[in-house]
Chains A and B, each alone.
Chain A
Amino acid sequence: MEWLERNVPKLVLAPSFVAILVFVYGFIGWTAWVSLTKSKLMPRYEIDGISQYTRLFASPRWDVAMNNLFIFGALFILLSMVIGLVLAIFLDQKIRSEGVLRTIYLYPMALSLIVTGTAWKWILNPGLGIQEMVRGWGFTGFTFDWLIRPEMAIYTVVIAAIWQASGFVMALFLAGLRSVDTEIIRAAQVDGIPTHRIYSAIIIPTMAPIFLSAFIVLAHLAIKAFDLVIALTNGGPGYATDLPATYMYAMAFSRGDLGQAAASAMIMMMVIFAIVVPYLYSELRPRRDH
């Protein structure tokens, strides 16, 4: 009986622990192994060294994919947080029908990225969307053809992704704003401190943990971004909007180049680790003040 009492938690956790060990970490190890081989159509297991990685870094297409990841990731995370914060502060002004507005802002998050991508593909298409509409109003010189210009196309992906995610960031921040102790704010108001100072000096600093959570959520959305690109540009024009995820998919499933796909997957994982490990470290380290 006593043995059972001591061991029930372990027994209950064991199956899911084993499943995660095998299906997450086991397969990460398997991918790492395959990335060191000359696998093509099917996995092969003779270790060949780092030739897949040298091929990867010599590939102009992978360069484009990594550059796009940094452009897309930086702009998407930064602008989503700024827009989300601004929307949250505006909504926090004790206005009427706040519930309705909040729902409207949050709603894009409920759409699939495929739908977002397809809709924006039409909106941004020079012959159908914004450009054609503005020209129809009489401004015949108006040009907005980012979607078909290789050097600008990645920014259209940023636009669509921000449209999708900023409402969600707003909801996170709004909850954060509401959790700030109203006593402190009242005290500040009594002292005659202007509202923008109250936000910048008191409210936003106390929301630091929420910024961190928003950052982690957005960062992993950026790195795994795949369906949006597929629906919006399908990697094009050319491969100008390729991201590491679409590169990996092309190698693994269209090209029969499993070794190359595994190598790119390992690099993607390292990028994620570079972001997540510091976060986990800051979360899991023992707190001194307890």
Chain B
Amino acid sequence: MYMKSVLAASTAVMFAAPALAEPTAEVLHWWTSGSEAKSIAVLQEEFKENGGTWTDMPVAGGGGDAAMTALRARVLAGNAPSAVQLKGPAIQEWYEETGLADISAVAEENGWADVLPAQIADHMKCEGQWCAAPVNVHRVNWIWGNKQILDENGIEMPSTWEEFNAAADKLQEAGITPLAHGGQAWQDATVFETVVLGLGGPEFYKAALVDLDQEALKSDTMKEVFDEMRVLRGYVDDNFSGRDWNLATAMVMNGEAAFQIMGDWAKGEFLAAGKQPGTDFVCAPTPGEGFLYNVDSFAFFNVDGDDKQQGQALLAELIMGPNFQKVFNMNKGSIPARTDVPLDDFDDCAKASNEDMQADSEDGSLLPSFAHGMALRGAQAGAITDVVTAHFNSEMSSEDAVQQLADAVAASM
């Protein structure tokens, strides 16, 4: 009986589907953990409410390595998914390999250019045409502190790296681990880029880590950055090897450590544990000026068939829709990519982040994060990460590190 009704239903679908030509979308993403899955479900719901058929293609595996392998196989087989979670220069890299769908019509109709910061809008374009849609902005250069520890030791959130070092020395004397850090290469790279920005300033950051200028890479400022990294290494406890970032966040939460340098996804961990910003934990930008962003986005691949192309248009419109941008980012801990979404329901850290983004967007210090794949292509970002993590985890001198950095970047071109 059951078998029969299944058969009947599936035949009905087979006959009905081509006739209606309703928008369909197959979406490849790696948002499979709790808060992430909840966030993507919001989009899925909206898509269905607008009459679309959503085929979910989640590929588990942190960082999206597994998802990219799946994507490569699909593209080689000539059967690309409609939309793929891609970000930064990887969008342009894929565009050069296979071409991407043009969604300029949707973008112009909805005035994306007016509501996105120019730097972020540039990431979404392939040779002038729109080919991707942003869902959020994560600020990477945050420093998180345990309020209670800081109050007990009379420490303010540091605004220069000297102040940070002084505060950390004081904490170390008091027997508290100053810096919670996890032992993974990308975490080392995250701390590194905040130090580059803090010590060198936005101009230097752009020259060194975006334009890969050899002068900047070999400069004395870069040596100072590596010196500071060596000092920071001394503030990390001995067991950090292989630790995940969220375990480091938990150390700050539980009072085992005072600070963590990590993007605003760490806030999600604090909030999930019922901690309040301002009373249990404090957030501040890392010392120095500038805003390092990490923008998640969806790129649209070339697909055949009206239903699929309509699906892409609908998806693009919904992703940039004010409602989705708000609900999604409240779940994920980030801020909307659109600058015109009211932030009344967001927490103070998010509001501060949004203000800084708009201010820094105007004076040119809104910069792409290299550690999170926004500034450079995979091979170059990887080459820099290798040097940074090798230096952080060994006794390498700053002179050697600077030389290796310049060589590695030159070899990766």
Query: Which chain A residues have a beta carbon within 8 Å of chain B's beta carbons?
Result: 40-42, 55, 58-61, 121, 125-128, 145, 147-148, 150-151, 233-240, 250-251, 253-257, 260
Contacts and interface: CB of A to CB of B under 8 A. Distances in A.
- Categorize the interface residue count of chain B: 35 or more
Interface stretch (B34-42, B352-360, B374-382): B374-382
A52 to B, nearest CB: 11
| 5 closest A-B pairs by CB | A238-B393, A237-B393, A127-B239, A256-B378, A255-B382
A254 B184 contact: no
A150 B393 contact: yes
B379 A237 contact: no
B386 A61 contact: yes
Contact of B386 (A41, A55, A239): A239
Contact of A250 (B76, B97, B242, B382): B382
Contacts, number: 101
B404 interface: yes
Nearest to B391: A238
Contacts of B75: 42
Contacts of A127: 237-239
B275 interface: no
Interface in B49-87: 63, 65-66, 68-69, 72, 75-76
B184 to A, nearest CB: 7
B90 A233 contact: no
Contact of B390 (A60, A148, A257): A60
B390 A238 contact: yes
A41 B94 CA distance: 8
A160 B390 CA distance: 24
10 contacts: A55-B411, A55-B412, A148-B183, A236-B183, A237-B393, A237-B394, A238-B188, A238-B393, A239-B389, A256-B93
Nearest to B395: A150
Contacts of A239: 185, 386, 389-390
Contacts of B412: 55
Nearest to B389: A238
B276 interface: no
Interface in B229-285: 237-242
Contacts of A254: 63, 65, 378, 382
Contacts of A260: 379
Interface of B: 63, 65-66, 68-69, 72, 75-76, 90, 93-94, 97-98, 183-185, 188, 237-242, 377-379, 382, 386, 389-394, 404, 407-408, 411-412
Contact of A121 (B185, B242, B392): B242
Contacts of A238: 185, 188, 389-394
Contacts of A253: 65-66, 68-69
Contacts of A42: 72, 75-76, 97-98
A84 to B, nearest CB: 30
A126 B389 contact: no
A59 B394 CA distance: 17
A250 to B, nearest CB: 7
Contacts of B240: 148
Contact of A126 (B63, B66, B97, B239): B239
Contacts of A60: 386, 390, 404, 408
A256 B239 contact: no
Given A60-B404, A236-B184, A40 B93 contact: yes
Contact of B411 (A59, A151, A235): A59
Contacts of B68: 253, 256
Nearest to A233: B242
Given A60-B390, A236-B184, A253-B65, 14 more contacts: A41-B97, A55-B411, A59-B408, A125-B239, A127-B239, A148-B183, A151-B394, A234-B184, A235-B185, A238-B185, A238-B188, A239-B390, A256-B378, A257-B379
Contacts of A59: 408, 411
Contacts of B90: 41, 256
Contacts of B378: 40-41, 254-257
A40 B386 contact: no
Given A42-B98, A59-B411, A254-B65, A148 B382 contact: no
A40 B393 CA distance: 29
B380 to A, nearest CB: 9
Nearest to A253: B65
Contacts of B63: 254
A95 B408 CA distance: 60
A233 B394 CA distance: 15
